[in-house]
Amino acid sequence: MSDELTLRPVRLSDAFSLQQNCWPGRPLTEVQAHLSRLLKWHEKGRGWGLVSLIRSRIVGFGQLTLWGRRAEICNLVVSEGWRGRGAGTALIRGLLKIAREQGIPEVEIGAAVSNPRALALYRRLGFHDRYRMLLDLGNGPELVIYLSLRPGDGDSS
C-alpha cells in the first residue's frame, strides 16, 4: 500500500465518517448507538474498537468484544475502495495486539462461506476453523465459519 495507513482507537465523533465511508446503508443514529455501546463496554474492559486511516480519512473499523475468557473480532469493515490493500489486515493485527495486552487467551472471528476472501485472510493470519453456524446476516440464512487463534501463537504481527 503506497499510502501510509494508521490505526487509532475509535471515538464517538467518528460516527459520521464511519457511516459515510464504511456503512453507507446504515442510518447515522444506528452507527452512533453502536459506538456508544462499544465505548461503554470499553470502560468496563470488555470492548475495544479501532479505526484505520489513510491520510486522516477513516477507511475501516474493527471491534474486539470479550465474552468470558474468549474474545471475538467483529464488525470488521473496510471501505469498498480500500479493500484488498492492507487495511483489514492491519485492523485484525491491531485487535490481536490488544487481545495479547489484555491477556485474552483466545480470539475468534467469523465469515460467511460466501466471503472466501475474508476466510483466506483469516487463515493466512493464523486462524483455524473452529465451528460453523447457520446465521441470518440480513439476506436470509447462510453458513458462517468461525475461526480461532490464541494471540501470539499464530498471528504474524
Domain CATH number, residue 100: 3.40.630.30
Distance CA 30, CA 152 (A): 34
- Model pLDDT for residues 91-119, shown as the tens digit of each residue: 999 999 999 999 999 999 999 999 999 99
First to last CA, the chain: 17
Q: pLDDT of 39-75, one tens digit each? A: 999 999 999 999 999 999 999 999 999 999 999 999 9
Residue 156 domain-assigned? no
What are the start-end ranges of the H helices in 7-130?
15-21, 28-43, 87-101, 116-124
Q: What residue has cell string 475474508?
A: 118
Count of domains forming the chain:
1
Confidence (pTM):
0.91
Q: Which domain holds residue 18?
A: 5-149
User: In the chain, where do the E strands start and end?
Assistant: 5-9, 47-54, 57-67, 70-78, 106-112, 128-136, 141-149
pLDDT tier at 136, thresholds 50, 70, 90: confident
